[in-house]
Structures are given as structure tokens and as C-alpha cells.
């Protein structure tokens, strides 16, 4: 099947990483599964945001299976004829997607009317204001609505491409590609754009070590005394320093880390909620549910429903 990345002057170079996913997927089977191309309006070399150029084929009426629109450092404004081509051709593709600000291009072409979508959190407000007819989900890593796939920041384009490979060839192939890319885990569409680890951002080595210790020992009890002992501080000094550096109490931070770990388990497995709760350190499924409501605003069961709706292999009812 033909996979194409649509690029334009000053496209963001990280968009190219999505193509690496399909390249590695080709190595997983006896025969290459994907024919990969880069497209542009005029064809030929296209200058990237980093200053180097990438060769491209001129847009034509070729029968592509999937077309992804690259993102840019700024919200792109593409020529009207190109948008008309997308509007005319988009419905003929099995899938069409936007990486990061590439979502704006799909909206400009009229392909997002009434559809759910996402984009980078820094420009999601602008997308909602400019295109009130789209159903924006601003805190999602990627969103699938029928044939239209959209992702958040540039790295989320890799998650989107992995989800496409999983949809085409199953979880084992997608997992093999993720392993070759040395990814910590494959994020699902319902993952938040804001990770608990990034939100904590401690300044000192001691508090960073405490956060790492907590993350590696989530299934067991993590009172302040245990965390403080792990970094050779008194409980009182540890609590005071932790809050000063992260803006959160140790207990709240541990809860957020547990919610994030539980979310991954729910998305990537079929374990009952009680098992997920035990494995991630919650006393029971009800306490996990309350923690999800406090942290994410919705119960854990809703994540599994989203996964089933998106048609993730192994999650069908």
C-alpha cells in the first residue's frame, strides 16, 4: 500500500520520523508492506525548518492508501490549489492524517467538519477558534475519527504511525517496530499530552531519584518515610523539599504516576480493573477509579471503551 507524507517549505523535520515507522514495518514481513513517498505541490527539493532539503514527488491523482500532512514550526498556510486537491482527493484515501499543526491543513481543506481531532496543545486554542465546526480534543496524543487521523506534537506522529501499523498488521508487528525505535512504551490515543513526569520536573538529583524510585516501585506502598529513606533525607525535610521543587505533595505525585501507569495497562492489555489496580499500587479498583476522576476527569472504564471504538487489536468486545 502507498503511504505518502505531504511536505511544504519549512515543514518540521520530525514529521519524517513517522515514515521510519513504516520503513521498519517493511522489515517485519517477508514482503514490504508499504511503498513510501514524500509529496509536495511542485515536486523536487523542499526546504525543511532545519534548513536542509528533502526530495519529493509532485502531487498527482495517484491512488494513495494513506496520506499524512507534515507539521510545521508555525501554523502552515498552504496554496489554495493544494487545499483544493486535498479536499477533492481526501475522501478517496483509506486514511488521511495530520501531524501536529498538519491538522490545520486538514481543517483548511474542509476535511475535519464535524470530526473529532487534536493538535499540539500550544495551538489547540487557535484551531478551536478558527474552525468551530471541528470537535477538538485538545489533550489527546492522537485521535482517530473514521478515515481521519490527527496527532498532537511532532513525536506524537510516531505514535499515530505505530497505531496505523498495529491496525494494519497487528500488535506484534507494531511492538517490534516500537522496540527497534527504542520507545519506552507505545502511547495510545487517549494518553494525555502532559505526562506526570514532565509535570513534576524536580530540580535536584535527590528529588529526581525519589521520583524514579517511586516509578519503579509503584506496586508496593510508597509512604513519605519510604521515599525519604530512599534518598537519605528525613521525612519532614523530604516532604518540604519535594513540594518546593514540584509544587505537589509526595502523595499526590505518587497518585499521578500510578494513574499514568494504570492508563497504559488499561490501554495495552485486557486485564480486569482489579488486576490493574493491584499492579499499579491502588488498594482496589474503586480507589483507582476515584484517582482517575481526580486526575483525568473520567473513570478508567472510559479508556477501554475508547480503545474498543478505535479498533485496537486485542481490545474488541
What was the pLDDT predicted at 140?
A: 81
What was the pLDDT predicted at 312?
A: 43
Per-residue pLDDT tens digits of the chain, which is 317 residues long: 999 999 999 999 999 999 999 999 998 876 788 999 999 999 999 999 999 999 999 987 678 999 999 999 889 989 999 999 999 887 789 999 999 999 999 999 999 999 999 998 888 889 999 999 999 987 788 899 999 999 987 778 898 999 999 999 988 888 888 888 877 545 554 555 445 555 567 788 899 899 889 988 999 999 999 999 999 999 999 999 999 988 889 999 999 899 988 887 887 678 899 999 999 999 899 999 999 988 877 888 877 776 555 544 333 33
Q: What is the CATH number assigned to the segment(s) 2-180?
A: 3.40.50.880
3-state secondary structure of 38: strand
**CATH topology of 2-180 equal to that of 196-309?**
no
What was the pLDDT predicted at 40?
A: 95
What was the pLDDT predicted at 247?
A: 87
What was the pLDDT predicted at 31?
A: 79
C-alpha cell at 311: 479498533
What was the pLDDT predicted at 138?
A: 79
Extents of the domains making up the chain: 2-180, 196-309
What was the pLDDT predicted at 161?
A: 93
What is the CATH architecture assignment of 196-309? Orthogonal Bundle (1.10)
What was the pLDDT predicted at 202?
A: 79
What was the pLDDT predicted at 225?
A: 96
Compute how many other C-beta atoms are within 10 angstroms of the C-beta atom of residue 111: 24
What was the pLDDT predicted at 311?
A: 46
What was the pLDDT predicted at 61?
A: 66
What was the pLDDT predicted at 317?
A: 30
Cβ(277)–Cβ(288) under 8 Å? yes
> Cα separation of 6 and 42, whole Å?
11
Amino acid at each position: 500500500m502507498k503511504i505518502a507524507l505531504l511536505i511544504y517549505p519549512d515543514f518540521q523535520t520530525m514529521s519524517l520520523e513517522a515514515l521510519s515507522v513504516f520503513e521498519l514495518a517493511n522489515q517485519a514481513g517477508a514482503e514490504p508492506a508499504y511503498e513510501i513517498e514524500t509529496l509536495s505541490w511542485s515536486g523536487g527539493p523542499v526546504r525543511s525548518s532545519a534548513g536542509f532539503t528533502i526530495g519529493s514527488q509532485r502531487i498527482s491523482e495517484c491512488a494513495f492508501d494513506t496520506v499524512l500532512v507534515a507539521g510545521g514550526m508555525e501554523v502552515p498556510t498552504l496554496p489554495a490549489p493544494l487545499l483544493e486537491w486535498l479536499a477533492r482527493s481526501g475522501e478517496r484515501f483509506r486514511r488521511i492524517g495530520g501531524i501536529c499543526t498538519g491538522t490545520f491543513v486538514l481543517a483548511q481543506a474542509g476535511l475535519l467538519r464535524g470530526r473529532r481531532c487534536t493538535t499540539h496543545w500550544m495551538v489547540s486554542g487557535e484551531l478551536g477558534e478558527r474552525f468551530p465546526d471541528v470537535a477538538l480534543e485538545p489533550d489527546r496524543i492522537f485521535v482517530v475519527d473514521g478515515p481521519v487521523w490527527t496527532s498532537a506534537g511532532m513525536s506524537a506522529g510516531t505514535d499515530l504511525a505505530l497505531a496505523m501499523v498495529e491496525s494494519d498488521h497487528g500488535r506484534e508487528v507494531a511492538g517490534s517496530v516500537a522496540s527497534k525505535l527504542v520507545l519506552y512504551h507505545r502511547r495510545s490515543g487517549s494518553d494525555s499530552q502532559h505526562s506526570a513526569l514532565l509535570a513534576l520536573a524536580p530540580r535536584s538529583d535527590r528529588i529526581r531519584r525519589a521520583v524514579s524510585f517511586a516509578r519503579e516501585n509503584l506496586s508496593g506502598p510508597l509512604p513519605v518515610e519510604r521515599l525519604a529513606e530512599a534518598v537519605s533525607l528525613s521525612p519532614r525535610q523530604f516532604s518540604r523539599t519535594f513540594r518546593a521543587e514540584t509544587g505537589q505533595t509526595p502523595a499526590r505525585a505518587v497518585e499521578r504516576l500510578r494513574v499514568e501507569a494504570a492508563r497504559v495497562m488499561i490501554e495495552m492489555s485486557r486485564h480486569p480493573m482489579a488486576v490493574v489496580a493491584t499492579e499499579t499500587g491502588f488498594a482496589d479498583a474503586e480507589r483507582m477509579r476515584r484517582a482517575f476522576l481526580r486526575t483525568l476527569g473520567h473513570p478508567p472504564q472510559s479508556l477501554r471503551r475508547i480503545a474498543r471504538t478505535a479498533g485496537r487489536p486485542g481490545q474488541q468486545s
